[in-house]
Chain A
C-alpha cells in the first residue's frame, strides 16, 4: 500500500503495510538512521521525532496514521547541526554511547519551541519519556539550559 509522507520538508511516497510503524519506515525505507529503535513499546523515546511540531514516538505511530502531518527527524532539525539544542549538546559533550541522544534532542527541541526558558520541573516533565541508559541526564539538563540561555551548573567540568 502506498502512503505519502511529508518528512523533513519533502514529500515522499512509500509502499509498505499500513501497520508498519513510522520508525521502521524512516529507518529501513527512507534510510534516515538518526531515529533509533530501543524498545518498540514507547518506553525509551530513542525514536522521538516531531509530528506537527510536537514530540512523538515513531515506534507507536503506524505509517497509515502519519500521512497528514509534517514529520521532522533529527536529520531535519537543522541542515548542519546548528539548532541551539544540537550546539549545546556538542559544547557540553553530552553523549556517552549517543544512541538515545537524537531522541533526547528532539524532545528538548520540542520543549523549547513552546517553552523558551523551561524550569527544572518543566524539563523533567518534557524529558520523562526519554531514557538514557548511560545516565547522561545531568548533561542533558545542562544542554537544555544552555540552549535556552540559562546558567549551567558546571560543578563538574564538561565540554571544552
Chain B
C-alpha cells in the first residue's frame, strides 16, 4: 500500500495512553514537542473525550470516540475521515462517536478544507491510525490470553481467538491496550479494500441528527456566559481607510460597551468596532456611525471600466505570452473553418449561508476562540499576529460551518474578532457580520475574466488553431488571486498551433479561490469554445471531444511543472475520455430523439485530480425560459468512493451550484464598491429551478482516491450552455444567462 501524500507530519508518531475510567487513547504527536509531552502537557490527567487530544479514545463500554480533525464546511469530511479510521479499527460504525478536533498542528497534523485535498491527503494516514489502534488491541488480547497475535482476528469491535473460541470486546481490552507499546504507523497492516465494511458504504453525516433537531453546532451558535456582541464597519471601497469616526458619540448610546477604531494589519482591514450587550443594539448603533473614509485608489474601479478596457486590450498586442506552440496565424489562414469569439464571466461572491463570525475571549494574556475557518491553523497564527500575542497563548476551537466554498480560506474575520476581544479584556465577544457585510467585504471574489478566442478546424474536422487572449484582473503584470490561466489548461498540448496570451486590467478588487478556483470559469470558456469548433466542423460534440483526446499531445516539459488543472497532477487524456464516453452512454447521447426546443450538451473538465464529464438536457421555450430536465454526471476520482451518499450529495450540489451561477449570479463593481447588497440582488438558485433528477455515476479507476467537492462543479456550466445551444442555436458567450434574456421556466 503506498502512502501517497501524507498530510500527517512525517515526524509524527503515535502515543498510546490510558483514558479516564480504564480506556485507551491513541494520539498523534510530533517529535518537536516530545519534551513538552514528556512533562505532561495536561498535568497528567487525560482529557475528557469532548475535548479530544486523541484521534481515538476507546472507553470501557466499547464506544470509540473518533476525532474528525478537518474543518467541516458541508463537504462531509467530519464523517469521511472517521469512517477511514473506524474501518481499520474494525469497529461497528454504530459504536463510533465523532467529535470535532480543536485547532492543533501538534495533535492532528494538517487541518484544512480546500483544494479537494482531504481525501487524497488523508486516505492512507487515517487508515494507518485506525489500524495502529487495532494492532494495539490485538497485542493486548494476545498478552491477556498468552496466544500469538497471528492467531487473533477482529471484527465489529471484538478480538477473537478461533482455536479457543474466545471473544473479548475492545472496551474490555482498552485498559490493557493502553500499556502496550505503540506500533510504528508505517508498519501497520491495512485491510484489503474488498473486506471494507464501512468505507464505500452510505453513511449518514455524523451531525445530521443535531442539524435536524436544531442543536447549537455552528460558529454563530456559540454562547458564553456574559458574552457581548460586536459589529465591524469597514470602508465599502476595498482598501479604504478611516480618517475620522464619532466613536465617543457611539460609546454614549445605551447598551454600548465599547466603540473604537481598529488599525489595519495583515489581512485586517481598517475599520470601526462596536461592542454591545446585544447584537441588535450593536448593529442598530451602526446607523448612527459617522465615519469619514479615505476611499483610496480602488474607488476608480468599475465593472463597466473593466469591460471597456478588456475590449481595448483585445485589439492590441498582449502584455505577456503564456504559451505559444506552432504558428497560430498561419494555421488560421489554412483552416477550413474559423471561429472568433469573445467570452466573459463576472465577479462572484461565495455567499456561504452563514455569514462570517467568530467568538473570542481574552483574559490574562490568553485568548480562547471559537472559530469557523477552512484554514484554522493559519487563522490562529493570524489572530496572534493581529493582537501581538504568541500563538501558544491562543486556544482555538473549530465550529461547524454554514458553508465554505473557499470564503473561509481567508481568516480576516478571525483577525477582527481577536483584536476586538483584546480591546475588551475579560469579556467574551462574538463578532457577527451581516449578510450585507458579507457581500460587500468578500476578500476572495471569484475574479471576472475576458477571453478573446480565435480557433480553426481543418477539412477533416480537427482543431488546428487556437488562440486565447486572456484579459484578467491584477496589478502590474501580476494577476489577482485565482485569476490565472495556466499554460497547460486543456486543450493546451492537444492543438498544434496554440497560444495563450495575457493582458491585465489594473484592479484593487480582492480575488481568490472559490469552489474549483480557475476551473469554475475556465471550463465554461474552453468547453463552450470546443463546442463552437465542433459545430463549425460539423461534428458531433462527443465524437469531436473524443477525437481531440485521442490526438497525441505535446509533452509537458519538466521545467513547466505538472500543470493541467487546479490541484496539480498531470492531465490524463485516457481518464478524461473514459468519463466522456461513459456519460455519453449513460445519457443516451445520440440515441434518443428529442422534441423541438430540447437539446443536450456535454462538457468535461479536469481539476483537483478529478475527471468529470456531464451532460445536461434542457428544454427552452420561445420566451427563452429554460427547464433543465436532467443532468448526468460521471466522475473518475480513483478506485474508492469513501462515502457514496455524501459523494452523490456533493456531485448533485456541484451541478445545482453551477446551474445557479450560470443563470443568475453576477457581482458588479461601481466606484470600487460591490453594487449588490443582499440575496434579492444576488439570486441564488431555488428549489423550483433545480433539476429534479441528477444521475451520478463513478468510473472506478486504478488510481488513488481523490476529492469530489470541487471537480464535479466546473463542467455543469458549459454542459448547460452547450445544451441551450443545441436546443435553440443561440451560443452563450458571457454569463450570467439572465443578461441574454434567459430565465428559468
Contacts and interface: CB of A to CB of B under 8 A. Distances in A.
B30 to A, nearest CB: 31
A94 B652 CA distance: 11
Contacts of A157: 202, 644-645, 648
A99 B214 contact: no
A70 interface: no
B38 interface: no
Interface stretch (B189-197, B245-253, B655-663): B655-663
Contacts of A124: 687-688
A99 B353 CA distance: 7
B191 to A, nearest CB: 21
User: What does DSSP make chain A's interface, helix, strand, loop or mixed?
Assistant: loop
Contact of A97 (B74, B652, B690): B74
A41 B680 contact: yes
Interface in A68-127: 73-75, 77-78, 80-81, 86, 89-91, 93-102, 105, 120, 123-125, 127
A29 B211 CA distance: 21
B680 A90 contact: no
Contact of A93 (B204, B400, B434, B436): B204
Contacts of B650: 96
B212 A158 contact: no
A99 B403 contact: yes
A160 B351 CA distance: 30
Contacts of B213: 34, 74-75, 78, 80-81, 86
B76 interface: yes
A24 B231 CA distance: 15
A134 B403 contact: yes
Contacts of B354: 36-38, 97, 99
A54 interface: no
A94 B209 CA distance: 11
A139 to B, nearest CB: 7
Interface in B632-659: 644-646, 648-657
Nearest to B79: A93
B208 interface: yes
Given A133-B352, A155-B694, 12 more contacts: A34-B215, A75-B213, A75-B214, A77-B214, A81-B213, A95-B205, A97-B74, A127-B688, A134-B403, A137-B687, A138-B691, A156-B694
B556 interface: no
B530 to A, nearest CB: 26
Contact of A39 (B204, B211, B678): B678
Contact of B652 (A29, A40, A123, A135): A135
A16 B208 CA distance: 33
A135 B202 contact: no
B208 A36 contact: no
Interface string A119-160: 010011101101111111111110000000000010111111
Q: Which 6 A-B pairs have the closest CB atoms?
A: A34-B214, A97-B74, A135-B656, A99-B402, A74-B214, A135-B653
Contact of B208 (A43, A46, A73, A98): A98
B435 A39 contact: yes
Interface string B271-293: 00000001111000000000000
A51 B293 CA distance: 43
A135 B690 contact: yes
B648 A156 contact: yes
B280 A156 contact: no
B202 A160 contact: yes
Given A36-B354, A41-B435, A44-B679, A158 B211 contact: no
B646 A140 contact: no
A93 B646 contact: yes
A24 B278 contact: yes
A78 B354 CA distance: 25
B548 interface: no
Interface residues of B, number: 71
Interface string A10-36: 000000110011001000110111111
Interface of B: 73-76, 201-205, 207-209, 211-218, 220-221, 223, 229, 278-281, 351-355, 400-405, 434-436, 644-646, 648-657, 660, 678-680, 684-688, 690-696
A135 B646 contact: no
B204 A90 contact: yes
A102 B656 CA distance: 20
13 contacts: A17-B281, A20-B280, A28-B278, A36-B402, A38-B402, A75-B214, A95-B211, A97-B353, A102-B214, A130-B686, A133-B657, A156-B694, A160-B202
B679 A131 contact: yes
Contact of B687 (A41, A128, A155, A160): A128
Contacts of A102: 211-212, 214
Contact of A81 (B74, B212, B352, B655): B212
Interface string A38-78: 11110110100000000000000000000000000111011
Contact of A141 (B207, B280, B351, B687): B687
Interface of A: 16-17, 20-21, 24, 28-29, 31-41, 43-44, 46, 73-75, 77-78, 80-81, 86, 89-91, 93-102, 105, 120, 123-125, 127-128, 130-141, 153, 155-160
B209 A120 contact: no
A78 B648 CA distance: 29
B72 to A, nearest CB: 8
A158 B648 contact: yes
B353 A38 contact: yes
B212 A140 contact: no
Contact of B692 (A29, A101, A153): A153
A90 B280 CA distance: 34
Contact of B678 (A28, A36, A43, A140): A43
A133 B684 contact: yes
B679 A98 contact: no
Given A39-B679, A90-B212, A133-B403, A28 B229 contact: yes
Given A101-B211, A134-B653, A139-B652, A28 B680 contact: no
A73 B214 CA distance: 9
Q: Name, among B205, B353, B405, the residue most crowded by chain A CB atoms within 10 Å (CB to CB).
A: B353
A130 B279 contact: no
A80 to B, nearest CB: 8
Contacts of A132: 353, 687
Contacts of A90: 204, 208-209, 212
Contact of A140 (B207, B687, B691): B687
B402 A97 contact: yes
B680 to A, nearest CB: 5
B48 to A, nearest CB: 23
A93 B645 contact: yes
A114 B436 CA distance: 35
A160 B353 contact: no
A160 B352 CA distance: 27
A131 B686 contact: yes
Contacts of A81: 209, 212-213
B645 A160 contact: yes
Contacts of A100: 353, 402
A90 B207 CA distance: 10
Nearest to A87: B212
A140 B686 CA distance: 12
Nearest to A80: B213
B402 A98 contact: yes
B98 to A, nearest CB: 14
Given A98-B211, A99-B402, A120 B692 contact: yes
A156 B214 contact: no
Contacts of A95: 74, 205, 207-208, 211-212
Contacts of A137: 656, 685-687, 690
